[in-house]
Amino acid sequence: MIDKQSITLLDTLRQIRKVQRLSQLELSLRLGVSQRHISFVESGRAKPSRDLLIAWLQELDAPLVVRNQAMLLAGYAPVYSSTQLEDPALAQINVALQQLLWAHDPMPALILDEHWNLLRLNQGGQWLAATLMPEMADLHHTSPINLLDLLTHPEGLAKPIVNLHEVGPALLAHLRHEAAVQPTLMPKVDAFAAMLHRRLGSLPPSGTHPTAPVLTTRYATKHGELAFFSMFTTFGTPQDITLASLRVEHLFAADAATHAVLRAQVQATDPQSIPG
């Protein structure tokens, strides 16, 4: 009889493999084991060794937090550490993050974790948040601040988006892709989908794959229409769950008018942290 932990592990391995669009045969070739063994593990008829499970999860490019969870479910010790961002051991990391935020002013930049919690903003980001959500001026008193919650709030970030019909479905597809390997995101993804349904009416099917092209998001503000596109910075080959989860989103002005407004409105100073 297979216990609940084993069922959860098997579901995790199958789900991530399917998200990566790998067949059992392709995975077996990569791991150097038989397809039959892959099938036996995924059906619960065999238990992977610790080394095989580590290699398995690496080939699937599973998030580090998911790898640790899978190891625990299999009865093994977790592989990766999880250090608090404020820990002195990450002092150099914090300096690097601060430099990224400060260097991007007056354009907005923000730091997010894997749950889309908003950890820090630079001055441009603080100005943009206050401009887009004037009804939520007490934002900094909320802990933690979650970007997906802000998108679904009636007075939140989605309200002033002019081209929500373009960026909304694309973001939803991306979020569904993330939630496939991070199931804890699903309630917030469902809430975002419900908001889009109310605003737009029709939605893409749940299996829609994330679109590749970079989209421009356009906001209606008292300063006129502001347009931005984004780029993300992540740590290369992180060996800690906290670092692996961090991403710095850099917003760039998509036109000269947006650039001029940000240059005029934002004074570049040292970035400040927001309680997370």
List pLDDT tens digits, range 118-151.
Answer: 999 999 999 999 999 987 656 555 567 899 999 9
Q: Which domain holds residue 29?
A: 4-73
The whole-angstrom separation of Cα 253 and Cα 188 is 28
The whole-angstrom separation of Cα 27 and Cα 17 is 8
Region 24-33 average pLDDT: 95
What pLDDT score was predicted for residue 258?
A: 97
Instruction: Judge whether residue 87 has pLDDT over 70.
Output: yes
What pLDDT score was predicted for residue 236?
A: 87
- Answer yes or no: do 48 and 24 share one domain: yes
144 lies in some domain: yes
Q: Which residues partner with 253 through β-bridges?
A: 228
80 lies in some domain: no
- Pick from 110, 123, 99, 97: which is nearest to 267 by CA? 123
* 3-state class (DSSP) for residue 131: helix
The whole-angstrom separation of Cα 57 and Cα 71 is 9
What pLDDT score was predicted for residue 139?
A: 57
- Answer yes or no: do 126 and 259 share one domain: yes
- Answer yes or no: do 94 and 26 share one domain: no
- Domain edge (last residue) among 26, 49, 73: 73
Q: Does residue 205 or residue 49 have the better pLDDT?
A: 49
- Domain edge (last residue) among 73, 96, 125: 73
Contact in structure between 59 and 65 (CB atoms under 8 Å): no
In the chain, the largest separation of any two C-alpha atoms, in whole Å, equals: 67
- Helices 35-43 and 4-19 meet at what angle, rounded to 10? 130
- Domain edge (last residue) among 29, 49, 73: 73
The whole-angstrom separation of Cα 175 and Cα 151 is 12
- Answer yes or no: do 13 and 142 share one domain: no
Q: Which residues partner with 112 through β-bridges?
A: 118, 247
Q: Does residue 12 or residue 214 have the better pLDDT?
A: 12
How much is the mean pLDDT over the chain? 88
Q: For the whole model, what pTM was predicted?
A: 0.82
- Answer yes or no: do 222 and 152 share one domain: yes
Contact in structure between 191 and 175 (CB atoms under 8 Å): no
Q: Which residues partner with 218 through β-bridges?
A: 227
Q: Which tokens belong to 169?
A: 């479905």
- Answer yes or no: do 68 and 94 share one domain: no
pLDDT in tens, 50-61: 999 999 999 999
What pLDDT score was predicted for residue 182?
A: 84
Distance linking the first and last C-alpha atoms of the chain? 42
- Answer yes or no: do 134 and 44 share one domain: no
Q: What percent of the chain has pLDDT over 70?
A: 87
Instruction: Judge whether residue 42 has pLDDT over 90.
Output: yes
179 lies in some domain: no
117 lies in some domain: yes
The whole-angstrom separation of Cα 52 and Cα 106 is 48
Cα dihedral angle (200, 202, 204, 206), rounded to 10 degrees? 110
192 lies in some domain: no
CATH code at position 152: 3.30.450.180
What pLDDT score was predicted for residue 214?
A: 74
The total of structural domains in the chain comes to 2
Provide the pLDDT confidence category of residue 271 given band limits of 50, 70 and 90.
very low
Q: Which residues partner with 111 through β-bridges?
A: 120, 248
- Answer yes or no: do 240 and 135 share one domain: yes
pLDDT in tens, 146-172: 999 999 998 899 999 999 998 999 899
93 lies in some domain: yes
pLDDT in tens, 177-210: 899 888 889 999 999 999 999 998 876 555 455 5
CA Rg value for the chain:
21
The whole-angstrom separation of Cα 67 and Cα 57 is 6
- Answer yes or no: do 142 and 267 share one domain: yes
